[in-house]
Homo-oligomer: A and B are copies of this chain.
């Protein structure tokens, strides 16, 4: 019954003094690091506190339980996503499909270091589908806007479909570049090539023969 946990706990208990604000900042940073390394379940409150050079009691002063830490991290990540996609749309207006493909791919790659903690959390908890879907929807909406901004002629349903494919390509690229990924060296460039081919075919049909639109 912890599926609604994210609504039960109102993030960190607001600190009132400067020392408290610093504590909370340190704790959040430590939590992100530990969760990224070990996953959410395996990350222990004790280790999070230790990494922030705090005692376990201090951790529990500001975060009533483990889920509250997760909530705080999520709120942080959601804000980052929002601002980044806003910035993207401005540049999507007059871009070629190939350029847009690069922009989208590079965006997630750039965001990756800050988003790693989030990914670790969403991966390690099966019962977080609601939160996961909120993030997914937010990201898909951002991509879709970029797509239709670039190619206003794209149909609505089709834009959804293309956005879904693009999101997966972006995720794949992040996975390939990620630290412990034993991918073959040329794979990222291949992925980029495929993405460009695809977006060109979808957003500027007729330029590449447009072919094979359906089996």
Binding site for B on A (CB under 8 A): 37-39, 41-42, 98, 123-124, 126, 129, 133, 136, 157-158, 160-165, 168, 172, 175-176, 180, 182-187, 189-191, 193-194, 196-198, 200-201, 208-209, 211-215
The docked-state distance in angstroms from the alpha carbon of A13 to that of B124 is: 30
Name A211's closest neighbour in chain B (CB-CB): B208
The docked-state distance in angstroms from the alpha carbon of A189 to that of B194 is: 16
On whether the beta carbons of B176 and A200 are closer than 8 Å, the reply is: no
Q: What is the distance, in angstroms, from A187's C-beta to the closest C-beta of chain B? A: 4
The docked-state distance in angstroms from the alpha carbon of A180 to that of B129 is: 9
Q: What is the distance, in angstroms, from A132's C-beta to the closest C-beta of chain B? A: 10
On whether the beta carbons of B183 and A212 are closer than 8 Å, the reply is: no
B contact residues around A208 at 8 Å (CB): 208-209, 211-212
On whether the beta carbons of B200 and A126 are closer than 8 Å, the reply is: no
Name A196's closest neighbour in chain B (CB-CB): B212
**Secondary structure call for the A interface:** helix
Q: What is the distance, in angstroms, from A192's C-beta to the closest C-beta of chain B? A: 8
On whether the beta carbons of A164 and B136 are closer than 8 Å, the reply is: no
B contact residues around A41 at 8 Å (CB): 41-42, 124
Name A124's closest neighbour in chain B (CB-CB): B124
On whether the beta carbons of A164 and B189 are closer than 8 Å, the reply is: no
B contact residues around A183 at 8 Å (CB): 164
On whether the beta carbons of B42 and A126 are closer than 8 Å, the reply is: yes
Known: A98-B212, A194-B165, A196-B212. Contact between A182 and B38, CB under 8 A? no
B contact residues around A197 at 8 Å (CB): 194, 197-198, 201, 212
B contact residues around A211 at 8 Å (CB): 208
Q: What is the distance, in angstroms, from A176's C-beta to the closest C-beta of chain B? A: 7
The docked-state distance in angstroms from the alpha carbon of A198 to that of B160 is: 21
Most buried by B among A129, A175, A184, A191: A184
On whether the beta carbons of A164 and B190 are closer than 8 Å, the reply is: yes
Cβ 8 A contact of A165, one of B133, B187, B215: B187
On whether the beta carbons of B193 and A164 are closer than 8 Å, the reply is: no
On whether the beta carbons of B182 and A161 are closer than 8 Å, the reply is: no
